[in-house]
A and B are shown apart, each in its own frame.
Chain A
Amino acid sequence: MSEIAAYRAKEGGSMRSYTVGFIISIGLTIAAYLLVTQKILSGWGLVYAIIGLAVVQLFAQLFFFLHLGRGPNRKWNFVTLILMLIIVFIVVAGSLWIMHNLNYHMTPQQMNQYMRQQDGGI
């Protein structure tokens, strides 16, 4: 059994870790579901809330299921994760900005619609 304890200390992963992660994830999932179905929030507030919940669940699962921050490769795992997140942010945010901008400038008949969107709500 000491091999497992030693492993747990080195690599992470234990019954407790998986169970806590599981319960947190269920909670976050149901919370997001209820926010939508019970119409507790709407518009951009809802979007930020459920994306926020998703990001929290991402970190919960990264830590409790994928044991990020533990194990022999933890430094390089973290470095590659950060690099990936930076690139993903740039490419996704950049693409959304570009495509929205193109739509705005390329569809004059919808320009009124976009201008209304910019000014308030969805």
Chain B
Amino acid sequence: MNRNPAYLVLSDGTVFPGMAFGAETTVVGEVVFNTCLTGYQEVITDPSYHGQMVCMTTPHIGNTGINREDQESAGPQITALLVREISHVVSSWRAHRALPEWLQEHGVPGISDIDTRLLTRQIREHGVLHAALCTDSSKTPAALQALASQWPGLEGLDLVKEVTCSKPYFWETGTARDWSPGDQQGSPAGWVPTDTDDRPLVVAFDYGIKFNILRRLTSHGMRVQVVPAHTSAAEATALNPDGFFLSNGPGDPSALPDATETVRELIQGDTPIFGICLGHQIIARALGADTFKMKFGHHGGNQPVSSVAQGHVEITSQNHNYSVGFQELPANVEVTHWNLNDETVEGLRLTDKPVFCVQYHPEASPGPHDADALFAQFGADVRKHRLERRMQSGNSSED
């Protein structure tokens, strides 16, 4: 196979010559690395990576192709894929496409045969990097460096509006039985029939939501209505939900004052709220906490998180560049989870309300399923709330 040469150039001028795959184009973006050993399809389609070039530290990427099930959104979200080796051959009974051709179709470029470990070490040392990638031989390394260093970056940008849905919709499918986390007795946890209508309703704010969150909510017995990120508290409340869910998403939480305001209003009420990743950061900000940009974030499937209440460790899937500071937390906020590697905040909860959130991804995809119980916990909160509401409305109608 004859492939074009490609160049990835960092803003500091470091050139990574390699081979092109995917779309033939030039792109600029922020480079992050991801240490998951499996799950490139989930990573590529995760909207939280919007605007980012993702360097996979696992050398062989594309081996299992692309299949219809493992999508986290409708298509690729990343700006570019940076790998050591790309596979043009697909080995998987579930695959329907090879990764390079699929990326090409969706206009996403990639570079292979670069020293991904060196790139990763540079990110580890210097923090998130800006870079430009050219896969069509149209630009010189020098021109690419100029592009990369002039690029303003993602800080302070509202990326959510680029990935959120345009109008509300209902989500209908749960996790397929084969891929269910399974409980400690071996029955597929939270694998409940999804056809009954008598399910509590959760309104999920879409800041760039991963499909697997929707599948897990559904599998844990919730009916899910997804709403655009800019939906106001009043509009959301008018849908009469039994719970609010705040999703993951790309970029800087401080660039989302409106969403933060909406969440602040939602917290005033007594409806249960669960937030993941960006949703967690927004809740924290709504509660008055600060968020900061980490040196290179957490992107992988092996982050150890200690649960304060349970006293055990969950191996978690993570993908974030920003984190919540714990200095300014109000008195009714409790840190429930810590990262064991760098002691950053991984989970919060309100002591006086059914509101909790985590920085990591209990929906996994990719990664271990250790934290799936959080969905069960949310389901329980939501059902309890619905019961209380029903009892109240029952009482009030008797009055």
Q: Do A and B come from one complex?
A: no
Q: Which residues of B contact A (CB under 8 A)?
A: none
Q: Which residues of A contact B (CB under 8 A)?
A: none
